[in-house]
Amino acid sequence: MNLHLHFILVNSEFSQGLADDLYEGQESEDNIKYLWEDEFKVAGTVKEFKIKNNSTYTLAGYFPDETAFSFEIPEMSVCDCMTESGEQMLFAVSKKLIKKTEKIIKEEEDETHMYFYLKDTLPMENPMNGVYILKTDFPKELKKKNS
């Protein structure tokens, strides 16, 4: 299966009433529904994927001085993808950032689209593609080391 992940920041100031009254239900230049969207197509054919709600995500990498780091981030929704070649890919979003999710399966195209609609009212960090962490849960050590 081909898996597409969509992360969409919802504009909390969007007015559906205004859109209905003046623009036939559609957004307008002054009334935007979504502020941005990141879309990722998982490389390779996905054998299976699971969404783990209220999970812990490990944010790991290297500081600029090549020192390794690893931080556990609580209360995350983690999308765990396994490809047919055996590669595992993780995508993660802080649970508190999620306004809603939606899964659309297009069987005729062997495609699944997973949508994560994110709240714009809480500040977040995006340390790498497909990872969105509530700013208050982001490791302070990473902020100090990178500033």
Q: Are 130 and 4 in contact (CB under 8 A)?
A: no
Give pLDDT tens digits along the chain (147 positions).
999 999 999 999 998 999 899 998 898 989 999 999 999 999 899 999 999 999 999 999 998 899 999 999 999 999 999 999 999 999 999 999 999 999 999 999 999 999 999 999 999 999 999 999 999 999 998 876 444
All structural domains of the chain with their residue ranges: 2-146
Sorted by sequence, the CB contacts under 8 Å of residue 104 that are 6+ apart come out as: 112, 113, 115
Report the sign of the C-alpha dihedral through residues 121, 50, 41, 88, in that order: positive
Residue with tokens 């390794």: 68
Q: What is the pLDDT of residue 132?
A: 98
Q: What is the pLDDT of residue 144?
A: 60
Report the sign of the C-alpha dihedral through residues 55, 124, 105, 108, in that order: negative
* pTM of the model as a whole: 0.88
Q: Are 92 and 80 in contact (CB under 8 A)?
A: no
Residue 17 CB coordination number (10 Å): 8
Take residue 62 and report the two structure tokens written for it: 């290297």
Q: Are 132 and 92 in contact (CB under 8 A)?
A: yes
